[in-house]
Amino acid sequence: PVIRCKEQRELSEGNLLVVTVATKETDGFRRFMRSARHFNYTIKVLGRGEPWKGGDYMTTPGGGQKVRLLKAGLQEMKEEDKVILFIDSYDVVFASGPKELLKKFQQTRHKVVFSAETLIWPDRHLEDKHPHFREGKRFLGSGGFIGYVPNLKEMVADWTGEDNDSDQLFFTKIYINPEKRKSINITLDNRCRMFQNLHGSLDEVVLKFEDGQVRARNVLYDTLPVVVHGNGPTKLQINYLSNYIPTVWTFETGCSGCLEDLRPLSGLKESEYPLVVIGIFIQQPTPFVSVFFESLLKLEYPKNRLKLFIYNQEQHHEVEVSSFLKDHEKAYQGVKVIGPEENMDRVASRNLGLDMCRQDKDCEYFFSMDIEVVLKNKDTLKILIEQNEPIIAPMITREGRLWTNFWGALSADGYYARSEDYVDIVQGRRVGVWNVPYLTKVYLVKASLLHEELSSNDLFSSGTLDLDMAFCHNARNKGVFMYVTNMHTFGRMLSTENYQMSHLHNDLWQIFENPKDWEERYIHENYTKIMRDKLIETPCPDVYWFPLFSDIGCDHIVQEMENFGQWSGGRNTDTRIQGGYENVPTIDIHMTQINYEKEWQKLLLDYIAPITETMYPGYYTKCISYLNFVVRYKPDEQPLLTPHHDASTFTINVALNSKEIDYQGGGCRFIRYNCSVEAPRKGWALMHPGRLTHYHEGLRTTAGTRYIAVSFVDP
């Protein structure tokens, strides 16, 4: 007859109970529970609401409290064939289900199996006492073990330690005692078939993408652990792995984890929207500040559910701030401004901004925005709130670069390190909501944190760290998870380098440093459509007409010239040009006079040359141009220009203001064709050959002031 031993009977899922200690529901605990639910584990949580006296593992051994709670918990359990998995929860995720765990447990043919460690801790003098294995890790880790109830009871029976005594030392001493090891029947999971502790083993672990599911693989032992534990100083690595494991993000399904536990806002009445304090920080001279405020205004969110905290350190930007407030302050529920005259330092301003939300009992979120953020997505705030994370940033990038507002990993000294998935996330090959160690520039913080984990009113300082690093460091230390989402496109961040403040409209000079923003601000909204939609008009033979500058672009150029003010006298002698003699003088200011020649040259190359080459096929141009200037026509000054040729192969002539509104009359007549453009359009450019065929004159301006920008290209 076949004799079946008791332990050979296959354990079923009903035999297993997962027991963990969690005095608080941290972000890590919630993550643990999500992965447990995914595999249908039955969980019992001990110690809820108790104060934690178990110590801080980062610095000193501790964890005795877990043993006390386990010992008490076991007393109530009577079933002898019950198997308990006792496991940490703040830094643990399940990569597989109970069935596999029990099978692997039974295959060990022991009654209690501990997770194994590469490093010995906390007492390295005990090293020699540890039995050797042919292969695998020799030391015991107390963050996870599995065993039958009676054996576990026997194991903890002698516990009389303090809550801050080391649980690991206690279990280690039992394990290295040969009699106890034998009687309780303990072994280690030395090849990480069940438990993967990450401390000391980071090089052994890689993500393994399976069909619609992700696991960790131990490449040293070629095993697929069921439980992954970011013990000790490996909290960021478990955060990284758990962006994927078990099914948070997979190649097949994308980020299914991103769709869980949302906080939908749709259907809410305006008055029901959560109150948000938006902190706006102007810390350095920055281009396009008025554009920032325009996108703030466009944010889709009831303004009476928003309060603003504006910190401005720059005298120079007071104009933009006060002009925004003058027109819109009343729409918001409240506004607090800290101006440059208050001399508040940056760190203090950040702390104060957060505090404005903390002190407001209605405030549910703090939304922090640095002035160099270019938010293109009007729904950003709503999207972030709906994602329902403790701290979350929308991913924004620096145009054309791998720079973003988050780091995927930290280097050993706490600075930037590139995570394996960083480039895939930045370039959108992996789309999701990612737990990351550092974010900056723009992020949303749940106010509930400000009353708990982040209740300190000095979160932005920490030793020598800069303020964002200090903030993230503090959040990490409190176990608060920070996420960045690239589920949508949100916007960009500006470069604040090389920002000169010597002009009236300094943004005009940004064509090199922030070309995209420059284009959006200054180039006509239809410019890019002109080729596609054949918007280029031909008002006279070989004269082409197309939109070039935006209204604001025209206004800024004119205002810049008027601000400079040194209009030429309209005489033939002109010291500004080579030879000193001008045949057809106008009242004008050259681009060189306002230091705009390099920028103008770039404008010609980027925005004019492609059109020239399309309209005059076979002609190639590098847009050499020594004469670029703005002309002013006025009835009582210089109202017109007599017929002439230009010293150019082709000429660009852009109308900078509007007929009927700013002036009467004006226009350009091509004599040979007896053809005139009499109704110039603001922002539109005329392009025509300079010599021989296109003998032309500037028609009389009869009232007001007319401005045009002119370039003689390829002289």
Chain contacts with ligand UGA (rule: CB under 6 A)? 20-24, 47, 52, 54, 57, 61, 63, 66, 88-91, 121, 142-143, 166-168, 231-232
Residue 130 or 681: the one with the smaller Cβ distance to ligand UGA is: 130
Residue 199 or 492: the one with the smaller Cβ distance to ligand UGA is: 199
Residue 90 or 434: the one with the smaller Cβ distance to ligand UGA is: 90
646 touches 713 (CB < 8 A): no
In one-letter notation, the amino acid at residue 311 is: Y
Q: Which two tokens stand for residue 401?
A: 């670069």
Query: How far lies 504's CA from each of 490, 500, 600, in Å?
Result: 30, 10, 17
272 touches 351 (CB < 8 A): no
Residue 46 or 548: the one with the smaller Cβ distance to ligand UGA is: 46
Q: How far is the CB of 368 from ligand UGA (least distance, A)?
A: 27
Residue 245 or 277: the one with the smaller Cβ distance to ligand UGA is: 245
123 touches 48 (CB < 8 A): no
Residue 116 or 530: the one with the smaller Cβ distance to ligand UGA is: 116
Angle at 68 between CA 63 and CA 74, to 5 degrees: 125
Q: How far is the CB of 71 from ligand UGA (least distance, A)?
A: 15
329-348 b/e with 16+ CB inside 10 Å = b?
eeebbebebbbbeeeeebbb
Q: How far is the CB of 94 from ligand UGA (least distance, A)?
A: 14
Which stretch of DSSP H or E encloses residue 543?
strand 543-547
Burial class of residue 578 (count of CB atoms within 10 Å of its CB; 0-12, 13-18, 19+)? exposed
Residue 116 or 444: the one with the smaller Cβ distance to ligand UGA is: 116
Q: Whole-angstrom Cα distance, residue 103 to residue 15?
A: 12
478 touches 446 (CB < 8 A): no
DSSP per position, 357-391: HHT-TTEEEEEEEETTEEE--TTHHHHHHHHT-SE
Q: How far is the CB of 177 from ligand UGA (least distance, A)?
A: 19
Q: Whole-angstrom Cα distance, residue 468 to residue 481?
A: 15
Q: How far is the CB of 26 from ligand UGA (least distance, A)?
A: 8
Catalytic residue among 350, 492, 632, 706: 706
| Phi and psi angles of residue 585, each rounded to the nearest 5 degrees, phi first | -70, 145
Catalytic: 37?
Answer: no
Query: How far lies 482's CA from each of 48, 392, 428, in Å?
Result: 24, 6, 19
Residue 675: how many CB atoms within 10 A of its CB? 15
Q: How far is the CB of 239 from ligand UGA (least distance, A)?
A: 12
In one-letter notation, the amino acid at residue 294 is: E
Q: How far is the CB of 460 from ligand UGA (least distance, A)?
A: 24
Residue 21 or 668: the one with the smaller Cβ distance to ligand UGA is: 21
Q: How far is the CB of 267 from ligand UGA (least distance, A)?
A: 37
Residue 169, C-beta contacts closer than 8 angstroms, at least 6 positions apart? 61, 122, 123
Q: How far is the CB of 242 from ligand UGA (least distance, A)?
A: 13
Query: How far lies 189's CA from each of 103, 221, 445, in Å?
Result: 13, 12, 40
Residue 54 or 279: the one with the smaller Cβ distance to ligand UGA is: 54
Residue 227: how many CB atoms within 10 A of its CB? 27
Q: Which two tokens stand for residue 600?
A: 């103008």
Q: Which residues are catalytic?
A: 706
